[in-house]
Structure 1
Amino acid sequence: MTDTPEIARFRELLAKTLGWTFSDRDAGQLGPLLADRSHTHRMSHGEYLNRLAARPWNTELTELIEQLSITETYFFRHGEQFRALREEALPQRINARSEQRVLRMLSVACSSGEEAYSLAIAAKEALPGQAWMINVLGLDANPAVLGQATEGWYSAWSLRETPDPVKRRWFRAGERGFHVVDEVQQAVRFRQYNVAEPDAGLWQAGQCDVIFCRNLLMYLTPAVAQALIGRMTQALAPGGYLFLGHTDSLGAEPDGLELRHTHDAFYYRRPLQQRPAVTIPTLPPPAPPRSAAAVPPAAEPEPVEERIHQQAVALLGEERFAEALALVTARLPEPGRPRDRLLRGVLLAQSGRLDEAIDTARRLIDDDGLNPDAHQLLALCLEGATGVEEAIGQYRLAAYLDPEFALPRMRLGLVARRRGDNRTAAGELERALALLPAEDELRISLFGGGFGRIALTVLCRAELDACGARR
């Protein structure tokens, strides 16, 4: 279904009221929903949209939220993040809170409650004694799933990643499946909340030890996502932790947070002490002598290393890999600048010398673990040499470290397509398509596999069309 003016307006209203963003491909979902809700209220499409825009319509917004929400989740989803929570975040926060003996955690977009209860269970198992208070708050816009969360009943499918000892200790089997034990249920409460709305009482400064907000930011408009990030950062206590989903990233140096990478997981920590801004006083430059004022400054000669680098990149673009590698090896110093070493690694990979390329990438990462291009190079080599599992982790790292980096998103989408995971593929390919117009030209030369910007865009669109996935 094409995106008609009415569907476009529907999208704009949903963005304004809920903060949710929808792509052109969502016309097939939004069109029938608009028709159904208009028919239910015995209105034309235009009348329904006018009513939705005119004044608060909470009952209808609730219905739209229930229709559009993604609710699939399960206990201890993405186990690597929960390992980081148990082995790093919670021990540090328990030590920091040893006098108050209170832990406060948030689960944003908690859906039917599995994540919020998982946080409470992890905290219960980490505590050194009983004289502690755990307070977990689950937030979601969908009242239907919050009702299920409050009841605390779950199917065996929801516990598919839950270890048997955890299941035996914290759940009780019954006619409706498995029920969370009272001790855990009493530590968790749920609240309906629209992330597009500020709430000073909810986001009190420095109150939270841990916040989970996974796979939500990509569905929000940029303004709402940025505001939510600011609120969560402010709400974290110094030393508190923020866990995002694999599809979300704040980059390597977000304001007020520091990136952490342990247990094969990415997450963020609010520093114990914020680094003060350094203000360097500036003085106006002295006026040039009158005799030299009209003489333009001489251009500095281009460094030899830069000219050699550009020549090698040009040869790479012409797929003259052996010549480019010989030029770099002979004319650029070792170990040299990181960008020259990266180029050499790419040329080694293109020449079939994968072991040497992998070694080059790993050395770059050893020198600077926050170098997204080095992780992208390593991922491409690993995908061709040893399989995709480790490569996926490196692609994710590259995308996390630079949220504007389109090419790791594209590779993640292509890998998911090969595995038949069309939903994940669609999300990654849409992100890649959005980022490709502004992708750095050098990165396209290095990591585009010989394709230019237009060809990569066509490839992404073709693969996206083949996915046939909808949110």
Structure 2
Amino acid sequence: MPRRDGDRPVERLRTLLGERLGMAFDDKKDALLGEILQQRATQHGLTERGYLDRLTTAWSAELAALAEALTVNETYFFRNVEQFRALAEVVLPARMRAGADRRRLDLLSVGCSTGEEAYSLAMVVAGRVPESWEASIVGLDVDRGALRKAMAGRYSEWSLRETPQPARHKWFRPAGDGVEIDDRLRKRVRFVEHNVARDDPVLFAPGLYDVVFCRNLLMYLTPDTARTVVERITRSLAPGGYLFLGHTDTLGARPPGLAVQHSHGTFYYERVAQPQRPADPAPAVRPQPRERALALTLLQQERFGEGLRVLDAITGAEADRPETWLVRGCLLAGLGDTGRAAELCRRLLERDALYADAHQLLADCHEGDERPDAAQRHHRVAAQLDPGFAMPRLRLGLLARRTGDRKEAERELDSAVHLLRAETDERIALFGGGFGRSALIALCRAELAAVS
């Protein structure tokens, strides 16, 4: 009898990792998973089948060891510093105003890895919150090895590369060939081993936290686990509490129970006092006016000047619609007039900072002006605001490919392939550079083959 695919040891391990740890691995990781499976089974004197059978039982120590072998802990202090600036200048003052009678703040770092994020939170709190207040900072991770390093508080100089000089002088001291966290700060942070695939009614008590950081974790989880983790975190935030996600994670523009906030060049989420009511059913798609539809066709044909003349014929309220401005901006960018196109985008974002398409066009303008960092930032915002938007993923993949970041390129291009199948015709016309759906998918696959 032929063996079913699900009977393969690596396939079975992948399933168990999803069930027990909530971690997602595609078949591109089969070689890594096979190597780790063989190593772990041999270490315990078991066959691969025997090891997998044992893993289905309550073998928590081995699950922790597996998590340690499978996770890559690449982080540093004050990573994505704009989020810490928003924390210091917007979030903490707001939470202190809300909790003036209680004089206590509770912060959580989910997926804290080797502790740099949790200690960065502690440094910001120490600099902004009066000593008369009580502050609790907890770091959670499933990787025991990473937690041991976090609790030891010893790091290389390289991990301080984004750390402000005042914080360097105040909270670190030389230790061997690296640095060590000052004991005053280390005592402010508590680290806890926790598997996010499992609930904990104490760690995630309703309304407990003022601030939660959960950055660059969701992308490693199965969709069901990621959804559950977000629901659990949302529940655990106090009304008016804040959630920060990583640039690779997104909840869209209007996640349940959360409102998107924007400052310091970054997006984050505020817990609304009452759950937002479900969104109204999507209205019927309003037919495009004939002129805008024609302008889109001309855009795809790279007849940019003709497209602009067609838009000039639109009058009244239709001429002032964001969709009309967006088409005009794409036509201007096609002509090489990225300055005027970018200005249109900025005016659109003044109206609605959550307009993903305007962020995408602004990113394309920055690429045309050879400003890759600014382009990457707005591509990421567009992808965060609309998880189903394929075009920012495609552009992020190509930018990563250009800079030699193979892992990032593979992740973004693979995501783009899946999303392009459902991308709207209008967005492909706007942002596809004259290419159709099939050609864009073929481009992604060719680039994926080149980085594999």
TM alignment of 1:49-128, pairs within 5 A: 49-53=52-56, 55-128=57-130
Within the alignment, does 1:347 sit opposite 2:331 as a pair? yes
TM alignment of 1:424-435, pairs within 5 A: 424-435=408-419
Output the CA distance in 2 between the equivalents of 1:224 and 1:88.
30
Judged with a 3 Å threshold, the aligned counterparts in structure 2 of structure 1 residues 68 and 366 are, in CA distance, closer, same or farther, namely: same
What does residue 186 of structure 2 align with?
185
TM alignment of 1:445-464, pairs within 5 A: 445-464=429-448
Judged with a 3 Å threshold, the aligned counterparts in structure 2 of structure 1 residues 303 and 426 are, in CA distance, closer, same or farther, namely: closer
Output the CA distance in 2 between the equivalents of 1:28 and 1:211.
35
Judged with a 3 Å threshold, the aligned counterparts in structure 2 of structure 1 residues 48 and 462 are, in CA distance, closer, same or farther, namely: farther
Within the alignment, does 1:19 sit opposite 2:22 as a pair? yes
Contact 1:241 1:267 in 2 (8 A): yes
Unaligned runs of 5+ in 2: none
What does residue 323 of structure 1 align with?
306
Output the CA distance in 2 between the equivalents of 1:363 and 1:344.
13
**Residue 8 of structure 1, CA deviation:** 2.3
SS at match of 2:320: coil
**Residue 94 of structure 1, CA deviation:** 1.9
Judged with a 3 Å threshold, the aligned counterparts in structure 2 of structure 1 residues 451 and 5 are, in CA distance, closer, same or farther, namely: farther
Q: Which residue type is aligned with residue 389 of structure 2?
A: F
Within the alignment, does 1:136 sit opposite 2:137 as a pair? yes
C-alpha RMSD of matched pairs (Å) = 2.4
SS at match of 1:259: strand
Question: Structure 1 stretch 302-311 or stretch 58-67: which is displaced more?
Answer: 302-311
Contact 2:300 2:433 in 1 (8 A): no
Contact 1:89 1:241 in 2 (8 A): yes
SS at match of 1:238: strand
**Residue 325 of structure 1, CA deviation:** 2.6
**Residue 138 of structure 1, CA deviation:** 0.5
**Residue 355 of structure 1, CA deviation:** 2.5
**Residue 176 of structure 1, CA deviation:** 6.2
Output the CA distance in 2 between the equivalents of 1:303 and 1:214.
37
Contact 1:412 1:425 in 2 (8 A): yes
TM alignment of 1:308-387, pairs within 5 A: 308-331=291-314, 333=316, 335-387=319-371
SS at match of 1:438: coil
Judged with a 3 Å threshold, the aligned counterparts in structure 2 of structure 1 residues 328 and 229 are, in CA distance, closer, same or farther, namely: same
**Residue 428 of structure 1, CA deviation:** 2.1
Output the CA distance in 2 between the equivalents of 1:159 and 1:363.
38
Output the CA distance in 2 between the equivalents of 1:43 and 1:372.
52
What does residue 397 of structure 1 align with?
381
Q: Which residue type is aligned with residue 437 of structure 2?
A: R
**Residue 17 of structure 1, CA deviation:** 0.8
CA offsets, 1:354-402, max 9 Å, x none? 2222222222222222111111111111210252222222111111111
Judged with a 3 Å threshold, the aligned counterparts in structure 2 of structure 1 residues 83 and 382 are, in CA distance, closer, same or farther, namely: same
**Residue 196 of structure 1, CA deviation:** 0.4
Contact 1:3 1:27 in 2 (8 A): no
Output the CA distance in 2 between the equivalents of 1:263 and 1:91.
15
**Residue 303 of structure 1, CA deviation:** 8.7
Output the CA distance in 2 between the equivalents of 1:193 and 1:47.
26
Contact 1:379 1:391 in 2 (8 A): yes
Contact 2:256 2:275 in 1 (8 A): no
CA offsets, 1:96-132, max 9 Å, x none? 222222111001000111111111111011013x222
What does residue 260 of structure 1 align with?
261
Contact 1:135 1:187 in 2 (8 A): yes
Output the CA distance in 2 between the equivalents of 1:145 and 1:279.
41
TM alignment of 1:430-441, pairs within 5 A: 430-441=414-425
Output the CA distance in 2 between the equivalents of 1:372 and 1:439.
14
Unaligned runs of 5+ in 1: 281-301
Contact 1:7 1:31 in 2 (8 A): yes
Contact 2:6 2:12 in 1 (8 A): no
Question: Structure 1 stretch 359-368 or stretch 253-262: which is displaced more?
Answer: 359-368
TM alignment of 1:293-308, pairs within 5 A: 306-308=289-291
Output the CA distance in 1 between the equivalents of 2:303 and 2:428.
16
Judged with a 3 Å threshold, the aligned counterparts in structure 2 of structure 1 residues 200 and 360 are, in CA distance, closer, same or farther, namely: same
TM-score (norm 2): 0.92
Q: Which residue type is aligned with residue 85 of structure 1?
A: L
Output the CA distance in 1 between the equivalents of 2:106 and 2:428.
44
What does residue 31 of structure 1 align with?
34
Output the CA distance in 2 between the equivalents of 1:358 and 1:181.
46
Output the CA distance in 2 between the equivalents of 1:278 and 1:433.
30
